[in-house]
Amino acid sequence: MSLSLFLDEALGAGRASDDTVSALRALAVAAIEIAGLVQRNGISADLGEEIGGTNSDGDSQKALDVRAEELITHHLSTSGAAFLLSEEQDDPVPLAGDGSVIVAVDPLDGSSNISVNVTIGTIFSILPAGPMLQPGRNQLAAGFFTYGPQTTLILAFAEGGCQCFVLDPDQGEFLTMGGPVSIPEQTSEFAINAAYSNHWFPPVRAWMDGVLEGKSGPYKQSYRMRWVGSLVADAWRIFQRGGVFLYPGDDRPGNGQGRLRLVYEASPMAFLAERAGAIATDGSGSILDIEPDSLHQRVPLIFGSAVELRRLMELHRH
C-alpha cells in the first residue's frame, strides 16, 4: 500500500487530523528530495562540506544539514504546520500561522556520515499547537526517514503500531513493508559508543560488564555490538530485528545528559519504541514523560528490547 493511501485511511479512521496528514505528506516530499540530493553527493555538490556556521548546540554545520532543513521548511510552509522546531534553529520558526500542529525535526541525523556514504536520515515529531515545549507523550505522530541503500520511513500515530515503508524509486512513492513492526523482548545485539567506557556512570558500566562476560556472565548469553554513528541507522536496525541502543550520560564535560536532544531525537524515537512494544528511558522513567525546559536540551537515551531495558532500569534504581 502507498503512504498516500495509508495516510488517507488514517485520516478516515480518525487516527490522524487533516493537519497531521498534510504535515506528513510535506515531510515525505522533502525526504524524497533529500534522498535525491544524497544520491548525487559529490557529483553536483559536496554535501558533507563544512559551511562555516554552527547550530544551536555548537556543532559545525554541513551543507546537507542546511539544505535538508530548507527543503523541510519549504514543504511544511504550505501544510497545516504552525511552527517548526529544528536542531538547526535557535528558536521556533513560524510557518503557516494558524495550523493546528507543531513539527519538530532533526533535519539531517548522522552528519558525520554524510561524506562517507553511510546511512543518514531525518527525524520528526508532530505535536498539537500550543506550548512550544511539550512532553513526548503529547505527540500526535512521529517517525524518521533513512537515506541509505534504501530510502525508508517508519511512522506511528498515537493510536496503533509502527509501520515501515520503503521508497520505490520507479514510482517515487513510499510503499508499506509488511504489517506493523514490534521490537522483540529478547536480543543479543547492542549499540553504544564504547570509546567512552571510561566515562560511563556505574549503572551502564555494570550492565556492560555483565554483557561482556557473555555466556558465563549474569545474562548467560553472548552479544554482538553495532555502532553506526547515525541514530537513525542504529534505530532502523533495532526496529527490524531488535536490539538495544544507548547514548547515556557520562562524565565528560557537558555530557552529563548524553549527547542526543530530547525534543527532536529522543522523544520521537521513544514514541516509536513504545508503539513497537519496547521501552525508552533516560534511566529513571519514560522519555515520553519528561517535560522539556528548553528546545535543545539533551537527554540520556536508552531504548530497545524490553528484557535488557528492564535490567538497565533496575541497575539505575540502585
φ/ψ of residue 213, rounded to 5: -75, -15
The crossing angle, in degrees rounded to 10, of helices 231-241 and 267-275 is 10
Question: If binding is defined by CB under 5 A, does position 109 make contact with Mn ion?
Answer: yes
Residues 257 to 276: which contact ligand AHG by CB under 6 A?
259
Question: If binding is defined by CB under 6 A, does position 19 make contact with ligand AHG?
Answer: no
Q: Which is nearer to Mn ion, 87 or 234 (CB)?
A: 87
Q: CA–CA separation, 94 vs 8, rounded Å?
A: 27
Q: Which of 108, 77, 69 is nearest to 94 (CA)?
A: 77
Residues 34 to 93: which contact Mn ion by CB under 5 A?
87
φ/ψ of residue 77, rounded to 5: -70, -15
> What number of chain residues touch ligand AHG (CB under 6 A)?
12
Question: If binding is defined by CB under 6 A, does position 193 make contact with ligand AHG?
Answer: yes
Residues 32, 35, 231, 278: which binds ligand AHG (CB under 6 A)? 231
Greatest CA span in the chain, whole angstroms? 60
Q: Which stretch binds ligand AHG (CB under 6 A): 9-17, 37-45, 108-116, 276-284?
A: 108-116
Question: How many CB atoms neighbour CB 25 within 10 A?
Answer: 16
Residues 106, 250, 282, 308: which binds ligand AHG (CB under 6 A)? 106
Residues 47 to 76: which contact ligand AHG by CB under 6 A?
59
In sequence order, the 6+-apart residues with CB closer than 8 A to the CB of 253 are: none
Q: CA–CA separation, 257 vs 300, rounded Å?
A: 5
Q: CA–CA separation, 156 vs 274, rounded Å?
A: 10
Cα dihedral across residues 14, 18, 19, 23: positive or negative: positive
> What one-character DSSP code corresponds to residue 295?
T
Residues 161, 184, 229, 277: which binds ligand AHG (CB under 6 A)? 229
Q: Which is nearer to ligand AHG, 17 or 261 (CB)?
A: 261
Question: If binding is defined by CB under 5 A, does position 106 make contact with Mn ion?
Answer: yes
Question: If binding is defined by CB under 6 A, does position 198 make contact with ligand AHG?
Answer: no
Question: If binding is defined by CB under 6 A, does position 226 make contact with ligand AHG?
Answer: no
Kindly list the residues in this chain that would bind ligand AHG in the complex (CB under 6 A): 59, 87, 106, 109-111, 193, 229-231, 247, 259
Kindly list the residues in this chain that would bind Mn ion in the complex (CB under 5 A): 87, 106, 108-109
